[in-house]
Chains A and B, each alone.
Chain A
């Protein structure tokens, strides 16, 4: 298990380093970083002062060393807007996104397992075809539009739900529902496919030959085998949830990292953007390891391969 963890950590650290490098070079090589950090209206004196303060007149290699040291200490400079440390701003926004994403993934996985299994149980039945069509539609609708239509119907017209904020359960309904729709659609299809092949495996026949109930066949035997491919996709979807979070948080005024990112882009607050991007990359890195651990938990063969 530890071997697996170590090996995976080493291989996932590469993308992380690429992001760290990418942010550095994007900031330096596309012109004067002062352009990125300072507002467009900055005077030449401000720029010079900024360059001196941030060591921008040092050689590139020194700058890179400084930058790495900063990253390691999670010191990303100060936000232009609030003059607060950018790292702190991001860390403060992080839990809100994490909660939103966590609930979304939980609901998506539970829902997809139930509906995907039902669809796979009788391939090409009416249930299956309805589930397949709805899920493929759900996987290809624009989430921002669904969110706005949700606001129009449930907040503006019916007045049942608030349009923004995080207080109370009602405030969670629209953001979670919006964020849910695409991963749910994709996951239903993946679970269905994996369950169709698991249910046609010989061990399922053996289970039936033992007199196992259909419930036991589906959830005791097939589902655990179908879980591995579904888990891989769920991991990718969780990463993709960052995309959705940017949209959903912007629309619903959710004080998370996605809204922070868009705000910092629109207001050209590079310190915060950089911090948000790097911390998101770190979170994705952690998520990938978590997915791999779950794989090992689910499938003894993965455990054995890891130990070998």
Chain B
């Protein structure tokens, strides 16, 4: 809802300042200038050129261009009848626009009104309209024109008619799609409830939303109509001499190609210049009327430089709620240079208390040799037009083999981003800006792409949240499960498939042998999650990261999936990192927990101890907001306020604005993660007090 509101607000500002935006884009301004010039030529052409375009001048036939000795008229040469090409070009601009503009306007008006009507009402009106559009569009427009112009004799008016009819369906379809989309929205519903008439609703609510899109379509259509008219004229069934059009001039130039190449060259250039300008302007208009798209494109540009990051450009918004904030609130016009990548620490305020060597997750304990995965001081930035946003700030934790660590936090706290950074699957907009990720002592972040790929699967594997979109819809599950074996073990298709079937049996897919040929959409949600887990554990990874593996599932299936993960962890001695916002899930399945808030780990320790006696006010608040037996009869509390926007984390302690214990010190000094007991650590100035209380 918020997103919708802001994007609509964006649209109004865009409408108000479109010319300012246009001037900012050099390319689009040039295109607009060309179109204005062509229009000027069309209007002023007859005044400037007079009858020069059609008057034969047998004293000056076949003059080459750039011969200025007879004045400016022959600057582009003349044809075999001595008519100056420049004058003919000017006159032809008028003819061309006189066909293209009315044709586009006719089809725009008729098609969009028809389309909005069809889309607004739906039902049979919509169906019949779409069928009509299909019929017209399924027939090549030039062919239609050929037949009609055969029966009625060719003239400017009949060309306009034919082209308008041929293009109506394009607008009809666009307008219908947009209107049908709006039909389901609330405000149209509301208008209908108030008894506002159909046409009034369309005019007041539907038309303004649809218009920008339709105008973009019209700009592209202008190209099409111009090209069609010039093709017809070229073929001799369009504009007829003595009138001049650019297409006709090319046709004439074709006759004299050997002797006077310039006659065909210049009108063609004029067509290209006009159509390309219209295309450029149309794509500019599409970019500006859709702020989301423009923002994303801008981000991709900066993301390109991200270290080790590769193509996948899934919107970070889809995974972490708060990371989505810049998408909707950032002004799409501010294209601040994303290169001013500030060190996360310099902006983090007077962070002087952090111990050298970073924040040891286990506080005072050195990492034990059994730690498979050690994440140390990991920082991740997301590049936005407004500059980098520090979404993960000096995060550290470690996991042993056979152990489950829960990475716990609200959505937007950076836990998924941390996981993706560890797995090397960050989107191009995100970049690791500091820290280490060590797998068995080897820093993964220092590895090249190839070495990293070799570890993807046997080293670090990942189970994703939404199994439906995480499985490729057009490949059989057998193929997808066989892939790890094909890639890493070089198995033959047949052998890999046998392993895939074994794997399916292992994760509890009934009738695995025959189901291997099925596609993801033919499985239930729980089965799909099992398949995804099977893919991840295929090569017995040393670390398995499960990113909210059960969020999309119902409760009974959740339990089954968690049991499966637990079994596999025990069987393969895998270190499991369970990313979740579910305290119950963490309590039940994890050995240790790392609680994250605003991009940092605020507390870590054995799960029973942390939940039994939290050493950080945030963890305390979280636990107090969960309904539980011991709270029976008392009021369920919640943490006041909401997590900070990742782009505007308060200086000092990020939690202080919501913390009941906050003092002055919290505003100036960021607390580092420090030991508060055996295996425990908390990032709070009062961690010790809480521990001793």
CB within 8 Å of B: which residues of A?
A: 12, 14-15, 18-19, 22-23, 26-27, 30, 36, 121-125, 136-137, 139-146, 148-149, 151-152, 156, 196, 199-214, 216-217, 221, 224-225, 236, 239-240, 242-243, 246-247, 250-251, 261-262, 265-266, 268, 270, 273, 277, 280-281, 284, 288, 298-301, 304
Contact = CB atoms under 8 A, between A and B. Distances in A.
Contact of B275 (A19, A140, A242): A140
Contacts of A22: 147
Contacts of A26: 147-148, 151
Nearest to B302: A124
Contacts of B227: 140, 142
Contact of B138 (A12, A27, A206, A216): A12
A200 B470 CA distance: 11
Contacts of A23: 147
Contacts of A122: 304, 311
B472 A211 contact: no
Most chain B beta-carbon neighbours within 10 Å: one of A15, A145, A149? A145
B139 interface: yes
Interface string B123-159: 0000000010011011111110011111110000000
Contact of B473 (A156, A200, A300): A300
Interface in B244-298: 247, 250-251, 253-254, 257-258, 261, 264-265, 267-268, 271-272, 275-276, 278-280, 283, 297
10 contacts: A14-B134, A125-B304, A148-B264, A149-B268, A204-B312, A208-B456, A210-B456, A210-B487, A246-B231, A273-B147
Contacts of B475: 221, 224
Contact of B264 (A12, A121, A145, A280): A145
**Chain A contact surface mostly:** helix
Contacts of B314: 200-202, 205
A224 B475 CA distance: 9
A84 to B, nearest CB: 20
B536 interface: yes
A209 B461 contact: yes
Contact of B474 (A27, A146, A281, A298): A298
Given A205-B312, A208-B425, 17 more contacts: A23-B147, A136-B279, A137-B276, A140-B223, A141-B271, A141-B275, A144-B247, A148-B253, A199-B313, A208-B312, A208-B453, A211-B455, A213-B487, A240-B140, A246-B235, A247-B235, A261-B143
Report whether over half of chain B's contact residues are helix, strand or loop; otherwise say mixed: helix
Contacts of B131: 14
A123 B297 contact: yes
B254 A148 contact: yes
B484 A210 contact: yes
Given A142-B250, A261-B143, A196 B313 contact: yes
A299 B297 contact: no
A284 B139 contact: yes
A206 B265 CA distance: 53
Given A124-B300, A196-B313, A207-B472, A247 B231 contact: yes
A85 B478 CA distance: 57
Contacts of A240: 140-141
Given A15-B135, A225-B474, A273-B147, A209 B456 contact: yes
B143 A145 contact: no
Interface residues of B, number: 88
B474 A224 contact: yes
A151 B257 contact: yes
A123 B235 contact: no
Interface of B: 131, 134-135, 137-143, 146-152, 223, 227-228, 230-231, 234-237, 247, 250-251, 253-254, 257-258, 261, 264-265, 267-268, 271-272, 275-276, 278-280, 283, 297, 300-301, 304, 310-315, 423-425, 427, 453-457, 461-462, 464, 466, 469-476, 483-484, 487-488, 519, 521-522, 532, 535-536, 538
Contacts of B272: 137, 140-142, 145
A145 B268 contact: yes
A199 B313 CA distance: 7
Contact of A242 (B143, B464, B473): B143
Given A206-B464, A209-B423, A224-B474, A243 B254 contact: no
B483 A212 contact: yes
Contacts of B140: 239-240, 242-243, 280, 284
Most A C-beta atoms less than 10 A away, residue of B150, B236, B475, B538:
B150
A25 to B, nearest CB: 10
A250 to B, nearest CB: 6
Contacts of A136: 276, 279-280, 283
Contacts of A236: 137
A96 B688 CA distance: 87
Nearest to B283: A136
B539 to A, nearest CB: 8
Given A144-B234, A149-B264, A301 B473 contact: yes
A308 to B, nearest CB: 12
Nearest to A269: B150
Nearest to B532: A206
Contacts of A246: 142-143, 146, 231, 235
A264 to B, nearest CB: 8
A125 B304 CA distance: 7
